Amino acid sequence: MLTRTFKRSAFLFISAIVLYSCATVPVTGRKQLSLVSNSDIIQQSAVEYQKVLAQSKLSNDQQKVAMIKTVGTRVQKAVESYMSQKGLSDQLAGFAWEFNLIEDDKTANAWCMPGGKVAFYTGILPICKDETGVAIVMGHEVAHAIANHGRERMSEAMLANGLLTTLSTAMGQNPTLTQELLLQSVGVGANVAMLKFSRSDESEADHIGLIFMAMAGYDPNEAPKFWERMEATGGGAPPEFLSTHPSHATRIKDLKKWIPEAMSYRK
């Protein structure tokens, strides 16, 4: 009887947490779980970002570095403009944007942590080809941060691991587990296996990122071409139901569907 009562109380408690801890994703309007505060995850992400930079070799190719920073700044301004127009500027509180290029030709990857901390790896630049290609990736990765996918994944992970507390408190109570959950939640690192964003997250970031790159002055019609190049470079991919990312074919089809909307935002 006690066990049944306890289970029922636990269920009601967790249900209440989920019910009253929801946020809305900008652009798409999707409801998401939000147990972690933005200020907490941005603060912790900034610490981890500096660790990644300290352990990595930053590119000294001034032309490539300048391209990353130029595109990043244009996308940043587009994001700030969009959020301002929608009355959502408060959601960017604590953002301290950074755009860095890591020298690693074997890694075709990029990511953006909560708070606007972006890292590109030189291995993805040949697939990007040019500034527009970089903008496609930049828009997508920044969209993950604006959609608070990292916060959502972290909230789900903490709930699953019984860490029903603040992120900073969890860091003090179980730093190893919490740090691992944080890194996996925000998709940090060169290892693709660390990326924990779901197919729906990736699709949502494609949609939002397309709008941001268009607002930054880049042509969204180039996005499907980028993923065609990625498909050609990546070789055989696992079936979509076995992957955390949409298949290239699905991604390209969806991007083409969203292009007219994105074009309406283009300056």
Torsion sign, CA atoms 204, 93, 45, 230: positive
Candidates 141, 152, 202, 204; catalytic one: 141
Q: Which long-range contacts (CB under 8 A, 24 or more apart) does 13-21 make?
A: 14/159, 17/159, 17/164, 18/159, 21/155
| 3-state secondary structure string across the chain | CHHHHHHHHHHHHHHHHHHHCEEECCCCCCEEECCCCHHHHHHHHHHHHHHHHHHCCECCCHHHHHHHHHHHHHHHHHHHHHHHHCCCHHHHCCCCCEEEEECCCCCCCEEEECCCEEEEEHHHHHHHCCHHHHHHHHHHHHHHHHCCHHHHHHHHHHHHCCCCCCHHHHHHHCHHHHHHHHHHHHCCCCCHHHCCCCHHHHHHHHHHHHHHHHHCCCCHHHHHHHHHHHHHHHCCCCCHHHCCCCCHHHHHHHHHHHHHHHHCCCC
Chain-centroid distance of CA 32 in Å reads 14
* 141: annotated active-site residue: yes
The angle subtended at Cα 168 by Cα 39 and Cα 109, nearest 5°, is 65
Give catalytic residue positions.
Answer: 141
